[in-house]
Amino acid sequence: MFVCLCMGITSNDVDEVVGNGATTSKQIAEACGAGGDCGRCRRTLRAIIAAHHEVNGCPKAVNH
């Protein structure tokens, strides 16, 4: 599923970036571009981060 239409970034792309340690939407934008243009997908990016942390038992990330 596409998460960021501006940059053509999929949820798989974002999952990979989060799996590699990104904990904020800003870090995701820096790593793959998602959320770096219009910003409409940032809520979705934060939800993906939160879901990743819930599944992996990590502390919740800061939402930036």
What is the predicted pLDDT for the residue at 6? 96
Main-chain phi, psi angles of 36, to 5 degrees:
-90, -10
Pairwise pLDDT comparison (54 vs 35), residue with the higher score: 35
- Residue 60 DSSP symbol: P
Task: List the domains of the chain with CATH numbers.
Answer: 2-56 (1.10.10.1100)
Yes or no: say if 12 and 27 are a contact pair by the CB < 8 Å rule.
Answer: no
CB half-sphere exposure, 19, CA atoms < 13 A = 6
3-state DSSP helix/strand/coil percent for the chain, to nearest 5?
50, 10, 40
16-46 tens-digit pLDDT: 999 999 999 999 999 999 999 999 999 999 9
